[in-house]
Structures are given as C-alpha cells and as structure tokens.
C-alpha cells in the first residue's frame, strides 16, 4: 500500500499511540479527508470499507472535539450526515476545508463565523482569520 493510504493509517492511528490529543485530532481529520477524497474519486477502493474507516475515525475524534473550539462536535455530526447520505463530493469538499482550516489556523478558525459556511473560498477565510489573529496579538502587546 502507498505510504499515505488511509487504509494503512487506519490500523496505526489510535489514541493508544498518541501522547498529544491535538496531534491525534489532526491525524484523525487528515484520515477522514483522505478517505473522503478516495470515496469521491470513485477509484479509491471498496466504498463500504472506506465508509467504515470514516465512521471509525468519527467515533474516535468525537469525544475530543468538545475540548477544542474548532471544528467541534457539530462538524462531526455534519460529516457523519454527509457520509450517511452518500454525498461523497460534498463530503470530500467539506472535509478538505475543515482539515485545511484546522491545519493552518487550529482553533483560531473558530473566530470565523463563515468557517462552516461552505459558500466562501477557504483561502479568503484563512487570510481574514490571520488578519484578525494578528490584530488581536498586536493590540494586546502594545
């Protein structure tokens, strides 16, 4: 299997081998994103197996989300509903956005009311969030 294959990561990524809950979350959201992409592309393997990987990852990430500002428990439920409705294109797009915002902004993405509104461009949201975070830091330190 390729190194970045979610099927391979599925066995290795568990709470038992992570010392850092934040890193566990990043890894789980990344696994969800990669697997959702494979489902949407239609050439990534057995849909039932890929769907189960996402279900398992959502079960693993759900308890942690209540302790972090972004993406939070509502996003877990939203992704679960997309998965169950088999809207794999939307599932892939939403998980790509969540993963990117989480990777680039962390909990800072929670400052964006539009973070879970999928009408806007992710790059634009990241720029806005960075300006807000920079302004807060500059204002507090002066």
pLDDT band at 1 (very low <50, low <70, confident <90, very high): very low
Task: Report pLDDT digits (tens) over 46-98.
Answer: 999 999 999 999 999 999 999 888 888 989 999 999 999 999 999 999 999 88
Q: Are 13 and 20 in contact (CB under 8 A)?
A: no
Q: How far apart are CA 93 and CA 89, in angstroms?
A: 6
Q: Dig out the tokens for 81 from the structure.
A: 């509903």
Task: Report pLDDT digits (tens) over 3-17.
Answer: 555 445 545 545 555
- Would you say how long the chain is, in residues? 142
Q: Within 10 Å of residue 88's Cβ, how many Cβ atoms?
A: 20
Residue holding tokens 């996003």? 75
In a domain, 1, yes or no: no
Number of folded domains in the chain?
A: 1
pLDDT attached to residue 79? 95
In angstroms, the first-to-last Cα distance of the chain is: 52
Task: Report pLDDT digits (tens) over 10-40.
Answer: 455 455 556 687 888 899 999 999 999 999 9
In a domain, 134, yes or no: yes
Domain of 108, in residue numbers: 6-141
């Amino acid at each position: 299997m390729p190194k970045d294959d979610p099927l391979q990561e599925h066995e290795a990524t568990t709470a038992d081998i992570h010392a850092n809950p934040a890193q566990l979350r990043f890894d789980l959201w990344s696994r969800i994103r990669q697997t959702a992409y494979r489902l949407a592309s239609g050439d990534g393997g057995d849909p039932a197996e890929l769907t189960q990987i996402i279900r398992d990852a959502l079960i693993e990430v759900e308890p942690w989300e209540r302790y972090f500002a972004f993406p939070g428990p509502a996003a877990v439920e939203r992704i679960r509903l997309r998965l169950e409705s088999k809207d794999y294109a939307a599932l892939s797009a939403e998980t790509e956005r969540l993963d990117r915002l989480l990777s680039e902004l962390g909990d800072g993405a929670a400052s964006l009311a539009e973070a879970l509104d999928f009408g806007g461009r992710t790059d634009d949201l990241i720029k806005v969030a960075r300006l807000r975070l920079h302004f807060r830091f500059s204002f507090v330190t002066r």
